[in-house]
Amino acid sequence: GSKIRADILSPALGHPTGFPVYRNKWAGASAKGDGMGTLHRRYGGCNKQVRAKPYKAQGPEYTALEYFHTYMSNGLEINGPGARK
């Protein structure tokens, strides 16, 4: 589908250009309260949202996915760090 709960999913093209990113949700969960996160942290959150077991951050699975997303986003303007919902 194109939705998770009530949220419309965005295309994956361009996602790596906005990381690291600040999220209010992460600020509340962080011991430092900084709310900054990496692409691998976001991948883990996506896995949890669909009830899949997240892989280890910086592991080969997320590194390969990050490489793919970055390759597909070549040529796009880097606009990070950003702020997300």
Alpha carbon separation from 16 to 6, 23, 45, 48 (Å, rounded): 23, 15, 15, 19
Q: What residues act catalytically?
A: 46
Check residue 8 and give its pLDDT: 82
CA separation for the pair 58, 82 (Å, rounded): 21
- Distances in Å between the alpha carbon of 61 and those of 17, 50, 69, 73? 20, 17, 12, 18
Q: Looking at the domain that runs over 3-84, which CATH code has it been given?
A: 1.10.760.10
What's residue 22's pLDDT?
Answer: 85
Residue-level pLDDT, tens digit, the chain, 85 residues? 578 778 887 777 888 888 888 888 888 776 776 888 889 999 999 899 889 999 999 999 999 999 999 999 999 888 877 666 6
Q: Output the pTM of the full model.
A: 0.75
Q: What is the pLDDT of residue 37?
A: 87
Largest CA distance in the chain: 36
- Reading phi first (left if > 0) and then psi (alpha if -120 to 50, else beta), residue 53 is in beta
Q: What is the pLDDT of residue 26?
A: 84
